Amino acid sequence: MSFIGNAIGSIVGGITGAKQSAKGAQQAAQTQATAADRAIAEQRDARLSAEQLQNPYVQAGQSSLAQQMSLIGLNGSAGQQQALNALLTSPEYSTTVRQSEEAILQNAAATGGLRGGNVQNSLANNRADIFSNLLSQQYARLGGVTSLGQNAAAGVGNNGLQVASNIGGLLSQQGAALAGGQIAKGNMVTQNLSNIAQIAGTVIGATGGRGAAPAPTIGF
């Protein structure tokens, strides 16, 4: 019977080893899954921080685009009139007009042509020219801010896509790790059932089927 005992001991040892191996595999899988969770949280935090940093530029770009659209009438005639009136009443326009008119009058006084027709024509055209130039300058300046906002928005979008891709990869790794742990457990159960059957076969073979002790119970 020592042969039977040794055989059973060897098989039971294999069962115990398989159980410990499967447990280790599940623990390793859970560790990897937890690490993936932390990495996903870091990715999301980084994306949120980037969005917060870019948000002022995105908002500025949206505002400047709306003003550009108003200047060229894309927000309706009322919106265009409001934008033009804002330029006409701006400190930049009034200051430029005052300085240019003073320069015209000073030059005319210095040359003795203060009452000449050229002076009157210059004064008449001066404000229209200044407003036309200011309108072009304002549209160009707004365009620079709009481009800045567009680039910021594109950066946020690209960063979001990259983070989504990274998170997708991490979720895939997490799923593979957890699946690997479950597979290891399943393999352990299958192997243990086979080992128990082997114990039964060993006992039955050694006793001829008479007086065989029941196979030991092994917890999975």
- Decide if 68 contacts 146 (C-beta within 8 A): yes
- Where in the sequence is the domain holding 179, given as residue range(s)? 2-207
> Does 80 map to a domain?
yes
CB atoms closer than 10 angstroms to residue 12 = 17
Helix axis angle, 117-207 relative to 2-71, nearest 10°?
170
Specify if 35 maps to a domain: yes
- Average pLDDT, 10 consecutive residues per value, the chain (220 residues): 50 54 67 78 84 92 96 95 95 94 82 65 87 95 95 89 83 73 61 57 55 49
Residue 214 included in any domain: no
Counting the structural domains of the chain, the total is 1
How far apart (Å, rounded) are the C-alpha atoms in residues 177 and 32? Answer: 7
Residue 215, domain member (yes or no): no
Q: Which pLDDT belongs to residue 144?
A: 96
Please tell me the distance from the alpha carbon of residue 97 to that of residue 125, in angstroms, as a whole number: 11
132: Cα within 13 Å, side-chain hemisphere? 5
Residue 212 pLDDT: 47
| pLDDT value of position 91 | 95
What is the Cα–Cα distance from 215 to 8, expressed in whole angstroms? 9
CA–CA distance from 141 to each of 4, 21, 43 (Å)? 93, 68, 36
Q: What local confidence, expressed as pLDDT, does residue 58 receive?
A: 93
pLDDT at 114: 56
Residue 168 CB: number of other CB atoms within 10 A? 11
Burial of 7 (0-12, 13-18, 19+ CB in 10 A): middle
216, part of any domain = no
